[in-house]
Structure 1
Amino acid sequence: MSTVIAPSVPRAELSRDAFVDRALAIADTEGIAAVTVRRIAQEFGVTPMALYWHIRSKEELLDAMGDRFFAGLEPLPVGDDWVEQLRAAVAALVASLRRHPGAAHLAAPRVMYCDAGRDLAEQTLATLRAAGFSVAQAADVARHAMQTAVMLVTNEAGAEPHVAAEMRQALLDTKRSALKALSADRYPHLIEAADAMTDCEDVDGYYDFGVDMFVAGARATLGPTA
């Protein structure tokens, strides 16, 4: 395990935002298990007690990481096209999660616990209610929108965000080899799709397709008038 910053860090650079930035970077390269208060302190060349002025526990650090995904999200576009508004909401969330896929799963539990997350939920629910969804339907669509965004990012073929960067290729090679070694009589399509299921040639296309599928499903739920 290597540190990134030399031990002498000016106190002015010790801030909650700086600690969260470093935690997100560690999660992306080494996996979320590597994120601890002690590790962050080591990265900044200070004792863990120095962090407690800003972040008191690992749980608080993880919460702050989850909150970060909602910060800076633009308001939904104004207009009467709820389909485009919903697509914009999910696409914006996906774009935010993609910046730090190693911690993307931390976003969903925090959506109702930070102002930016609540703002996004409120705008999405307002859009869906105006479109004609019932309260229960709107809540379901909003909930699934959040889960879909996280799922797309955490399950991107070839990304393996839960694994340390240096181990990802070996894991992918193992998965691909295991699929190709299956019985051709019993699993011909799995073998055929082995490369496609363990790698993503068109990453942007993968996300666009996933968002479009979700929005199409929501539209179908509302009925032919949508």
Structure 2
Amino acid sequence: MGKLTADAIVRRALEVGDAEGLDAVTIRRLAGDLGVTPMALYWHFKNKEQLLAGMADHLVGGFAPGRAADDRPWRERLRDLIEGLIRVLRTHPCARTVLEQVDQASVPAFLAVWDHALGLARGAGFGVEESCLISRYLLQSAISIADAPVHLRSRHTPEEMEEIVRLKRVALQSLPADRYPHLVEMAGPIVAGMDAGFYDTFGVDLILSGIETLAACRRAP
């Protein structure tokens, strides 16, 4: 093979992490997969902590803001950030674990996204502490949306899933309607889920609408 690059190592690490989990990502495993000695990998990443930082930088780099001027409203730019993070988490099953385990301050792309989110919040009129909380809530909200059951890969066959959903729906519909009227009424969408696109769009709209409403309150006389 040609010259081993850090990008090639990171890409293979993500493939292994997505398929087998992050515990399977080791320097020795990657060296074997790439047909090199472990020392060849240590040239780029001295330990797994640095490898994780490289993986996170690759993941987040796909939607990190550039240096070009962007005159769009802050709400649109904030939407781009949260949708970009959701997209990354959706594309790579191991992404959430990577972002949770890595020292985020050691990831240039994540720092760029984080700083951008803080700047957008400050520009919308929020204080320092509020801006910090908004950036944290955005990350946690993106993780929750990306982990939604409507997107999870099921280990069951379609027939098995249909039966599981049916049993859960029947269980809710069998509840006393006078005591749990809304659970009985909405048993179908609760257990069967809903359109994935609608789920994502509504979730992002809900988060951003809350932020926008608070921002309007800050600007009100």
The normalised TM-score by structure 2 is: 0.76
Deviations 1:101-143 (A, max 9, x none): 3323323554432222222222221221121101111111111
Structure with more of its chain in helix, by fraction = 2
Unpaired segments ≥5 residues, structure 2: 176-182
Q: Measured at CA, do residues 64 and 120 of structure 1 come closer, stay the same or move farther in structure 2, by a change above 3 Å? A: same
Give 2:148's aligned amino acid: N
| 1:69 counterpart SS class | helix
1:70 alignment partner, one of 60, 67, 75: 60
Q: 2-side partners of 1:77 and 1:152: how far apart?
A: 29
Displacement, 1:215? Answer: 0.6
Which residue of structure 1 aligns with residue 99 of structure 2? 107
Q: 1-side partners of 2:141 and 2:7: how far apart?
A: 27
2:120 alignment partner, one of 113, 117, 127: 127
Larger Rg: 2
Q: Measured at CA, do residues 132 and 34 of structure 1 come closer, stay the same or move farther in structure 2, by a change above 3 Å? A: same
Displacement, 1:218? Answer: 1.2
Displacement, 1:191? Answer: 4.8
Which residue of structure 2 aligns with residue 52 of structure 1? 42
The normalised TM-score by structure 1 is: 0.74
Which residue of structure 1 aligns with residue 83 of structure 2? 91
Equivalenced residues, count: 206
Q: 1-side partners of 2:169 and 2:99: how far apart?
A: 35
Deviations 1:13-57 (A, max 9, x none): x22211110111222223333322232222123343332222233
Are the equivalent residues in 2 in contact too, given 1:32–1:103 (CA < 8 A)?
A: no
Are the equivalent residues in 1 in contact too, given 2:151–2:196 (CA < 8 A)?
A: no
Which residue of structure 2 aligns with residue 19 of structure 1? 9
Which residue of structure 2 aligns with residue 179 of structure 1? 168
Which residue of structure 2 aligns with residue 4 of structure 1? none
Unpaired segments ≥5 residues, structure 1: 1-9, 161-166
Are the equivalent residues in 1 in contact too, given 2:169–2:187 (CA < 8 A)?
A: yes
Mapping for residues 29-44 of structure 1, pairs under 5 Å = 29-44=19-34
Identity %: 30
